[in-house]
Every structure is written in C-alpha cells, then in structure tokens.
C-alpha cells in the first residue's frame, strides 16, 4: 500500500488543509541534518559555513541556521538587512555581487561585516571611498574568475571568462596590491564561486587550483591573507544524477589549501542546505486530455516555482495520499497563461482527482525566493515544521498586497 506523505510526522495533506495551497513547507530537522553533514565533512579548523540567503531568505529558515552558529552570504543590501534581522553575527557575513551600491556598502561597513567580496577594480575604488567617508577601513576579498567550466545549466554557471562575475588573476593581484597601499582598505583574501547545482568534483578542484595559484603569487609578494572563500554551488540530487560528495569536496579543498593553515576556509552553500528540506504543496483543480497529452491542472504555478520553466529543472512530484490504480503519464501544470508553465512533464503518477494534494519535492531552495506575482497571483504561504509542530512563517499574500503599492 502506498504511503501517506509526511513532514516530521505531520501529514502533508493536513498541512495543506490547515494553511491552504499553494504552500511551501520546510523541515527544521532536514535543514540541520544537512548542516551537520557539511560540518562533519569540513574538518579543517576555522572553516565557516556561510549560508547563501538567496536560496531561501525566510527569517525562520535563517534562524534555524544562525542559531547553530552558521554564517551568511548575501548578495544585496536587502539580504544583508534580512541576515542581520535574523540574528547572523555581522562578523560571520560575507557580501558578494557585481553591483553593490554605495548605500549597500555603507550598511555593511556600519554593521562591521566579515568581508566584501569585491568583483571589479571600480567597485574596489567605490568601497575605498565609502570606507574613507566612514573613517573605517573596509575588509575585502577579491572574487577570482578562474575560467573553469562547470557542467551545469548555462544560466547558473558563473566561473567562466565570459560570465560577468569576478576578475581574472592579474587584476586580482592588482586589487590586492591596492589593498596593501590604501589605509582604507583591508585585504582579506580570495573568493570564488563557479556556479550552482554542480555535481562533480572536477570544476571545484580546478577552481581551487586557480585560487591556490594566486595565493602563491600573493605570498611571493609578501601580501598577507586570512580568508579563502570557495563559494557554494554544491549540487543536490533531484532524480538520476548522484549528489556531490561533500566529504570528497572538503578533502580536495583542504589538500589544495594545506600550505596556508592560517587562512580560514569559507564555503557558501545555499541549495545544499535547504533544497531537500522543502516541499511545495498544491491542490489538484482539474484534469483534461488532449489527443496527445493528459494534463493535471493544480493551483501552484511557475510564479510559485520557476525552476521547471526557467531551467527545465526536474522536481520529484507525488500525491500526498496516493490512490490505488494504474499509474499514468501526465503533465502537471499551473493556471498561468504560458505554455511554459509546468511543474512536471510526462511523469508517471498514480490516479489524481480534483481536491487531491500533490507535493513537489526539492522546493526548499530557489522556490519561494524566486517566486513572483506574475498573473497577479498572490505569493504562497510558508510554514516551518519543527519537532513535529507546524508554524506559519510567512502569511499568504492577498490581492491587496499586489495592488496597494500602485499609485
């Protein structure tokens, strides 16, 4: 007999009834389990795990992580403010992004973050000006673009010379030298993030080798550094592909950076920590058949979970309470007026009827955080399950939330 789907023992169907659909449900235990796995893998003393907020910036999710001493990686002033509000220690926050404004730099300086991951010479000069104005030297690392190919979706590769991220080695050295000369800049080390959803070790190892090469040059010039930040991008398994082995990743990085035990190693996982800890629950509205396809129309759509439409991403999907009967190949689609609006295509599923709840898996990362109000659809509610208790952590939006800001 197929089993009813539960989250920390709570039936998904009951959560859908209680909080409505579409609904994101996160499990605290699942998040902590992933964090523990990473901590065990990265044995090098001083290693910091800085959670990449953009995967899921919900305050309750952030609090689960910062309560255990994790740091944060942010890519905007908004994320920085949310990380601080959730309680991440300023000295555990790193700030990346190619287009930080001076106001965003100012916030980071005022609050005393660990480091700015600087991505261009012009940005470094802007940071220096902001630091001089504040009379407070700015800690910075240089984001290196190692020009490595990470076999992943072209939209989520960031470490190639044609990508907008980071700088190449000669510029990185030039920026570190500038840091040494300026009394308003405080050079911390190197940063590198080559993309997202990377499943093999190869690209990480090549990126680490490129970073180590620049570290050797810095050392030769007598430029001290204290941070080596290898970014995130640790792939998770949604179906066939194996998950990245974080223990082997840790070993490879620790081996590459073993000549510099004084430098702290940082990693910035987003997806790895939260993807599998989240479900998107949706209710079946209608079914229909064309001469070519069977469709199941549900009340969640591409505005709630963009990844299938945006990247052709595979998300597991299953009924919360599987019915008996022959399984059929169906397309699970939402109400948005785009043929690209689908959650799953040609999936073999048990019988579904209007009113049934389906659960889309691996929805804890880049789910709600990439959601929109497209088609004037209020955004979904979010719930955190902790110790078998469910708590609303973001109320469902209303149409007023969409319309009232308009003048």
Q: Which residues are catalytically annotated?
A: 337
Answer yes or no: are the C-beta atoms of 230 and 96 closer than 8 Å: no
Q: How far is the CB of 25 from ligand PLP (least distance, A)?
A: 20
Applying CB under 6 A, the span of 178-186, 226-234, 248-256, 291-299 interacting with ligand PLP comes to: 226-234
- Choose, by CB under 6 A, the member of 139, 231, 334, 364 that binds ligand PLP: 231
Using the rule CB under 6 A, is 232 a contact of ligand PLP?
Answer: yes
**Residue 334 in the binding site for ligand PLP (CB under 6 A):** no
79 binds ligand PLP per the rule CB under 6 A: no
Bridge-based pairing of strands 185-191 and 138-143 is: parallel
Alpha helical stretches, state H, 87-196: 102-111, 121-134, 169-181
Nearer to ligand PLP (CB atom), residue 15 or residue 65: 65
Beta carbon nearer to ligand PLP, 22 or 231: 231
Size of the site for ligand PLP (CB under 6 A): 19
In total, the chain counts a number of residues equal to 407
Q: Which residues contact 215 (CB under 8 A, 6 or more apart)?
A: 190, 225, 228, 257, 259, 260, 263
| Binding range to ligand PLP, per CB under 6 A, among 60-68, 77-85, 191-199, 289-297 | 191-199
Residue number, 212 or 273, with CB nearest to ligand PLP: 273
Q: Which element (helix H / strand E) includes 202?
A: helix 201-220
Can residue 382 be called a binding residue for ligand PLP (CB under 6 A)? no
Q: Applying CB under 6 A, does 367 fall inside the site for ligand PLP?
A: no
Of 26, 88, 272, 368, the residue at the interface with ligand PLP (CB under 6 A) is: 272
- Cis omega (within 30 of 0) on the bond before 22? yes
| Residue 276 to residue 31: CA distance in whole angstroms | 8
233 makes contact with ligand PLP (CB under 6 A): yes
Residue 115 Ramachandran class (φ > 0 left, ψ -120 to 50 alpha, else beta): beta
Closest contact distance (angstroms) between CB of 53 and ligand PLP is 9
Contact 404, 60 (CB under 8 A): no
End-to-end CA distance of the chain: 55
Structural contact between residues 297 and 285, judged by C-beta atoms closer than 8 angstroms:
yes
The reply to whether 199 sits near ligand PLP by the rule CB under 6 A is no
- Looking at the Cβ atoms of 21 and 196, the one nearer to ligand PLP is 196
- The rounded distance, in Å, linking the Cα atoms of 159 and 194 is 4
Q: Using CB under 6 A, which of 28, 82, 264, 271 touches ligand PLP?
A: 271
One of 30, 52, 124, 333 touching ligand PLP (CB under 6 A):
52
We find the least distance from the C-beta atom of residue 274 to ligand PLP, in angstroms, to be 8
Which of 77, 53, 81 has its CA nearest to residue 65? 53
| Residue 55 lies near ligand PLP (rule: CB under 6 A) | yes
CB of residue 3 to ligand PLP, shortest distance in Å = 30
Name the one range near ligand PLP by CB under 6 A: 20-28, 78-86, 207-215, 268-276: 268-276
Contacts of 306 (CB under 8 A, 6+ apart): 366, 370, 371, 372
**How many whole angstroms separate alpha carbon 213 and alpha carbon 190?**
11
- CB of residue 198 vs ligand PLP: minimum separation in angstroms? 8
CA distances 30 to 105, 243, 272, 279, 392, Å, are 34, 16, 11, 11, 17
- 91-150: which residues touch ligand PLP (CB under 6 A)? 96
Positions in 238-267 near ligand PLP (CB under 6 A) = none
Min dist CB 81 to ligand PLP, Å, is 18
Point out which span in 99-107, 225-233, 252-260, 282-290 binds ligand PLP (CB under 6 A): 225-233
Alpha helices in 96-140 (DSSP H): 102-111, 121-134
Q: How far is CA 134 from the centre of its chain?
A: 31
Residues forming contacts to ligand PLP in the complex (CB under 6 A) are 52, 54-55, 73, 75, 96, 193, 196-197, 231-234, 268-272, 365
């Amino acid at each position: 007999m197929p089993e009813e789907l539960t989250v920390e023992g709570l039936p998904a169907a009951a959560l859908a009834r209680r909080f409505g659909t579409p609904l994101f449900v996160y499990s605290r235990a699942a998040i902590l389990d992933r964090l523990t796995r990473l901590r065990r893998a990265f044995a090098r003393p001083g290693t910091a795990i800085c959670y990449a907020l953009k995967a899921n910036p919900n305050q309750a999710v952030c609090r689960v992580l910062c309560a255990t001493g994790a740091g944060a990686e942010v890519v905007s002033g908004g994320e920085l403010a949310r990380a601080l509000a959730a309680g991440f220690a300023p000295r555990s926050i790193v700030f990346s992004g190619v287009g930080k404004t001076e106001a965003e730099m100012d916030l980071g300086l005022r609050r005393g973050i660990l480091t700015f991951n600087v991505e261009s010479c012009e940005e470094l000069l802007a940071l220096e000006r902001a630091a001089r104005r504040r009379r407070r030297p700015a800690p910075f690392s240089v984001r290196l673009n190692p020009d490595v190919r990470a076999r992943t979706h072209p939209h989520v590769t960031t470490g190639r010379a044609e990508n907008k991220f980071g700088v190449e080695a000669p510029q990185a050295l030039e920026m570190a030298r500038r840091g040494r000369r300026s009394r308003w800049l405080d050079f911390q080390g190197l940063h590198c993030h080559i993309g997202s959803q990377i499943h093999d070790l190869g690209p990480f190892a090549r990126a680490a080798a490129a970073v180590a090469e620049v570290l050797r040059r810095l050392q030769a010039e007598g430029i001290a550094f204290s941070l080596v930040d290898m970014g995130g991008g640790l792939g998770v398994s949604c179906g066939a592909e194996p998950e990245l082995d974080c223990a082997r990743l840790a070993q490879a990085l620790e081996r590459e950076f073993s000549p510099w035990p004084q430098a702290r190693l940082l990693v910035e996982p987003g997806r790895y920590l939260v993807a599998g800890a989240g479900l998107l629950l949706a209710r079946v509205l209608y079914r229909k058949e064309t001469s070519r396809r069977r469709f199941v129309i549900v009340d969640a759509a591409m505005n709630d979970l963009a990844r299938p439409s945006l990247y052709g991403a595979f998300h597991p999907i299953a009924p919360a309470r599987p019915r008996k009967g022959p399984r059929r190949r169906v397309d699970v689609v939402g109400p948005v007026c785009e043929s690209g609006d689908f959650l799953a295509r040609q999936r073999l599923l048990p019988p579904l009827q209007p009113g049934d709840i389906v659960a889309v898996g691996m929805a804890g990362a880049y789910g709600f955080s990439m959601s929109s109000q497209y088609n004037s659809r209020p955004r979904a509610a979010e719930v955190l399950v902790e110790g078998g208790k469910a708590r609303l952590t973001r109320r469902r939006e209303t149409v007023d939330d969409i319309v009232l800001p308009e003048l």
